[in-house]
Chains A and B, each alone.
Chain A
C-alpha cells in the first residue's frame, strides 16, 4: 500500500500541474521585470514584455505550467531577483 501511495505521489509531482505566477507589486520596475523574465526563461523581449504588462494590468501573469520540481526551480529563480512569484496547483 505505501508503495502505491508513493508511486501516485511521484506521478503527481512529475505531471505539469503547477502554475508559476508572477504577482503585481508597486515597487519592481517594469524594465526590470521584463529583464528578469528574459534572463530566467530565455524569452525574447516581446514575450517578456507581454507577460510584464499582464502583471501590471491584470495583477498577475501565469508564466509557465510545469511539474512540481520545475515550478519550484522557476519560483526560486524569480525570487532571487526579488520578484513576487509563487507556484500554485492548477485545479
Chain B
C-alpha cells in the first residue's frame, strides 16, 4: 500500500492485488480486544463508571464493524487499474481504520500472551498462536502506511494557504 496524494480532504492510496487480499484478510479479524480489557483507573473506579467505559467500547466495536463490513463489500471503493487498485479515504475514515487495525494488533498481542519483546514473542509461538503473530505484524504494516498518509495529509493542510489552523 502506498500513499499517493491528498486532494480536497481525501487521501489516495495505491495497493496491489496480493496486498489488498492481505488487507481484507487481516481486517476480517476485527474485533479482537474484549471490551472489558480496559480499566478506567488503576487505583479507584466506581463499578458504574467501569461499566460505562465497557459499554462505550462495545458500542464502538459494533459501529466500526458495521462500517468495516460496508467498506469490504463496497466494490466501488477500490478502483482497478494496471498496478492493482486505487482507493481513497476521508480523514474520519482513516481514523477509524487506524483504530480497527490497532485493535487487531493489540488483540493479537493479548492472544499471544502479552509477550514483552521479540524473545518472549518467539517463545510463545506454536501452531495455535502463529496466526496471531501474523496478524500482529500485518496490522502493524498497514498502520504504518496509514500513518504516513496522516502525516502527509497534515503537512499538505499546513502548507495550504486556505487551510484552517488546527494545531
Determine if A27 and B44 form an interchain contact, defined as CB atoms under 8 angstroms apart: no
Between A and B, how many residue pairs show CB distances below 8 Å?
66
Determine if B147 and A88 form an interchain contact, defined as CB atoms under 8 angstroms apart: no
Summarize A's interface: helix, strand, loop or mixed. mixed
Neighbour of B106 across the interface among A27, A39, A89, CB < 8 A: A27
Q: Is residue A52 contacting chain B, with contact meaning CB distance below 8 A?
A: no
Determine if B143 and A44 form an interchain contact, defined as CB atoms under 8 angstroms apart: no
Closest to B106 in A: A82
Q: Mark A27-49, 1 if CB is under 8 A from B, else 0.
A: 11101100100110011100000
Interface centre among A28, A79, A82, A86 (most CB of B within 10 A): A82
B5-13, B72-80, B109-117: which lies at the interface: B109-117
Summarize B's interface: helix, strand, loop or mixed. helix
Minimum CB–CB distance from A21 to chain B (whole Å) comes to 8
Measured between alpha carbons, how far is A28 from B33 in the docked complex, in Å? 13
Q: Mark B22-66, 1 if CB is under 8 A from A, else 0.
A: 000000000001000011111110000100010011001000000
Q: By the criterion of a CB under 8 Å from any partner CB, how many residues of chain B are at the interface?
A: 34
Q: By the criterion of a CB under 8 Å from any partner CB, how many residues of chain A are at the interface?
A: 23
Q: Is residue B124 contacting chain A, with contact meaning CB distance below 8 A?
A: no
Minimum CB–CB distance from B115 to chain A (whole Å) comes to 7
Minimum CB–CB distance from B21 to chain A (whole Å) comes to 23
Closest to A81 in B: B99
**Residues in chain A near residue B99, CB distance under 8 A:** 80-82
Interface centre among B41, B109, B143, B154 (most CB of A within 10 A): B41
Determine if B41 and A87 form an interchain contact, defined as CB atoms under 8 angstroms apart: yes
Neighbour of A27 across the interface among B41, B95, B105, B154, CB < 8 A: B105
Determine if A80 and B60 form an interchain contact, defined as CB atoms under 8 angstroms apart: yes
**Residues in chain A near residue B53, CB distance under 8 A:** 75-76, 79
Minimum CB–CB distance from B160 to chain A (whole Å) comes to 17
Determine if B102 and A81 form an interchain contact, defined as CB atoms under 8 angstroms apart: yes
Asked, given contacts A42-B166, A44-B167, A79-B53, whether A31 binds B147 with beta carbons under 8 Å apart, the answer is yes
Determine if A81 and B98 form an interchain contact, defined as CB atoms under 8 angstroms apart: yes
Residue numbers of B with Cβ under 8 A of A are: 33, 38-44, 49, 53, 56-57, 60, 95, 98-99, 102-103, 105-106, 109, 115-117, 136, 140, 143-144, 147, 150-151, 154, 166-167
